[in-house]
């Protein structure tokens, strides 16, 4: 579980640093990763085997939401490209 904690720290540090650099285009993504994803990973690392099922369900929910979002944007880009041909 130390690996998950390390990943959580790296995710937090990278996205806070990106927020500090004021990358306006990715601000929402950076805030989300710094204050939602990284704390979930750190919580799993802290609780270890006593981590509640809800935390894992939250991560699974975020993963499926991400998959759906990126599938949608990819299909929209494919439609745009085919319309321009």
The pTM of the whole model exceeds 0.85: no
Per-position DSSP letters for 31-62, written without gaps between them: HHIIIIIHHHHHHHHHHGGG--HHHHHHHHHH
Give residue for tokens 């490209």.
81
Copy the structure tokens of residue 57. 């369900």
Which helix (H) or strand (E) segment holds residue 85: the answer is none
- Over residues 35-77, the pLDDT tens digits come to 999 999 999 999 988 999 999 999 999 999 999 999 999 998 8
């Amino acid at each position: 579980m130390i690996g998950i904690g390390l990943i959580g720290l790296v995710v937090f540090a990278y996205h806070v640093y990106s927020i500090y650099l004021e990358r306006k285009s990715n601000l929402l993504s950076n805030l989300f990763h710094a204050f939602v994803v990284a704390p979930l990973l750190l919580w799993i690392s802290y609780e270890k085997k006593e981590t509640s099922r809800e935390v894992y369900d939250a991560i699974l929910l975020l993963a499926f939401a991400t998959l759906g979002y990126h599938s949608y944007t990819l299909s929209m880009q494919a439609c745009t490209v085919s319309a321009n041909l």
